[in-house]
Amino acid sequence: MATEFERESALLIIDMLNDFIEDTGALVVPGAKRIIPRIMQLLKDARQQGIPVIYVTDSHREDDHEFRYWPAHAISDTWGGEVIEELEPASGDFIVPKRRYSAFFGTDLDNYLRELGIKKLYLAGVLTNICVYATALDASMRNYGVAVFKDAVASLSEDTDRFVFQQLAEVVQAELL
């Protein structure tokens, strides 16, 4: 069944990168492969409806301070920092590299969305409780509507996802699909 996106919306695919998804990645999210087919369908539906697709990609320097907390991952211009093959960006898709959790922090995402007249963001990807949540929170603070596909996000546990879904609904007023 096709997903109907609202007009003036965009689909954000967050951190679906080799280092997070592939078995040989540096910081694999267990179970994240299960969301690939759903995201593939969302991409197809969005493109057919003319909805902008934006890939948000962790893109770190080798000496990134984030590596004080996490193993080195998604180093810029490496295999680990590339979008997985199944979800390869198409011509016309926009790619937003980021060095921190939120897709808005230190990027030109907000400018791009405003230029397009976007009012609502649909989110999919990893990790639910880190980059997806931080992006949803920042989007809400910038007055975008936020929707999260519960079957197209993943974290390290189902308990974490349940808690974050509650936070998204209560704090961000996100629509959970």
Question: What pLDDT, in 10s, does the model give residues 78-99?
Answer: 999 999 999 999 999 999 999 9
Examine residue 66 and state whether it is found in any structural domain, yes or no: yes
pLDDT at 78: 95
Q: What sign results for the dihedral spanned by CA atoms 61, 66, 68, 74?
A: negative
Question: What pLDDT, in 10s, does the model give residues 53-79?
Answer: 999 999 999 999 989 999 899 999 999
pLDDT at 173: 92
pLDDT at 8: 97
Number of domains forming the structure of the chain: 1
pLDDT at 2: 85
Rounded distance, CA 177 to CA 149, Å?
Answer: 5
Q: Which residue has the tokens 């280092």?
A: 19
Question: What pLDDT, in 10s, does the model give residues 133-151?
Answer: 999 999 999 999 999 999 9
Examine residue 122 and state whether it is found in any structural domain, yes or no: yes
Cα–Cα–Cα angle for 94, 128, 4, nearest 5°?
A: 55
Q: Quick one: tokens of 37?
A: 């087919």
pLDDT at 132: 96
Examine residue 63 and state whether it is found in any structural domain, yes or no: yes
pTM here is: 0.94
Predicted confidence band of residue 168 (pLDDT cuts 50, 70, 90) = very high
Cα–Cα–Cα angle for 18, 2, 155, nearest 5°?
A: 35
CATH of the domain at 161: 3.40.50.850
**Where in the sequence is the domain holding 170, given as residue range(s)?**
9-176
pLDDT at 31: 86
Average pLDDT (156-170) is 92
